[in-house]
A and B are shown apart, each in its own frame.
Chain A
Amino acid sequence: MRYGGGWDPAAPAGEVPDLTNLLENLDMRPFTTRAAACIGILLGATGTAHADWAVNMPRGVTPISRDVYDLHMLIFWICVIIGVVVFGLIFWSILRHRKSKGAVASQFHESTTAEIAWTIVPFLILVGMSVPAAKTLVEMEDSSDSDLTITVTGYQWMWHYEYVGEDVEFYSKLSTPRTAIANIDAKDEDYLLAVDNRLVVPVGKKIRFQHTSEDVIHSWWVPDLSVKKDAIPGYVNTNWARIDEPGVYRGKCAELCGRGHGFMPVVVEALPEDEFQQWLEEKRSAQQAAAGGDADRVARLSGQ
Chain B
Amino acid sequence: MSAVIHDTDHHDDHGPAYGWKRWLFTTNHKDIGTLYLFFSLAMFFVGGLMALVIRTELFQPGLQIVDPHFFNQMTSMHALVMIFGAVMPAFVGLANWLVPMMVGAPDMALPRMNNWSFWILPFGFTLLLLTLFLPGGAPAAGWTLYPPLSLQTGAAFPFAIFAIHMLGISSVMGAINIIATIFNLRAPGMTLMKMPLFVWTWLITAYLLIAVMPVLAGAVTMLLTDKFFGTTFFSATGGGDPVMYQHIFWFFGHPEVYIMILPAFGIISQIIPTFSRKPLFGYSSMVYATASIAFLSFIVWAHHMFTVGMPLAGQLFFMFSTMLIAVPTGVKVFNWIATMWRGSLTFETPMLFAIAFVILFTIGGFSGLMLAITPADIQYHDTYFVVAHFHYVLVPGAVFAIIAAAYYWMPKWTGHMYDEKLGKWHFWLSTIFVNVLFFPQHFVGLAGMPRRIPDYSLQFIEFNQISTIGAFGFGFAQLLFLYIVVKCVRGGEKATSHVWEGARGLEWTLPSPAPYHSFETQPEVK
Contact = CB atoms under 8 A, between A and B. Distances in A.
Interface of A: 1-4, 19, 22-23, 26, 34, 37-38, 41, 44, 46, 48-58, 64, 67-68, 71-72, 75-76, 79, 82-83, 86-87, 89-90, 93-94, 97-100, 103-111, 114-115, 118-119, 122-123, 126, 129-130, 133-134, 136-138, 140-141, 180-183, 187, 189-193, 211, 215-217, 219, 221, 223, 226-230, 232-235, 237-238, 251-263
Given A109-B339, A258-B149, 11 more contacts: A52-B459, A71-B375, A83-B363, A97-B341, A105-B343, A111-B281, A122-B327, A126-B326, A183-B62, A191-B61, A256-B142
A94 B68 CA distance: 46
Contacts of A76: 370
Interface in B267-283: 276-283
Interface stretch (B16-24, B121-129, B446-454): B446-454
A141 B312 contact: yes
Interface residues of B, number: 100
B282 A53 contact: no
B370 A51 contact: no
Given A54-B443, A183-B63, A217-B148, A134 B319 contact: yes
A28 to B, nearest CB: 13
A71 B450 CA distance: 21
A26 B63 contact: yes
B207 interface: no
Interface centre among B152, B373, B376 (most CB of A within 10 A): B376
Interface string B360-376: 00110010011001111
B84 interface: no
B457 A221 contact: no
Nearest to A120: B327
Contacts of B342: 93, 97, 103, 105-106, 108
A105 B344 contact: yes
B373 A261 contact: no
Contact of A79 (B136, B137, B370, B502): B370
Given A68-B376, A99-B346, A235-B243, A182 B63 contact: yes
B463 interface: yes
Contacts of B327: 119, 122-123, 126
B349 to A, nearest CB: 15
Contacts of A229: 307, 309
A179 B481 CA distance: 43
B309 A232 contact: yes
B60 A46 contact: yes
B486 interface: no
Contacts of A89: 337, 341
Contact of B355 (A3, A94, A193): A94
B359 A53 contact: no
6 contacts: A56-B447, A108-B278, A109-B281, A217-B149, A233-B242, A237-B308
Contacts of A49: 458
Nearest to A122: B330
A200 to B, nearest CB: 21
Contacts of B243: 232, 235
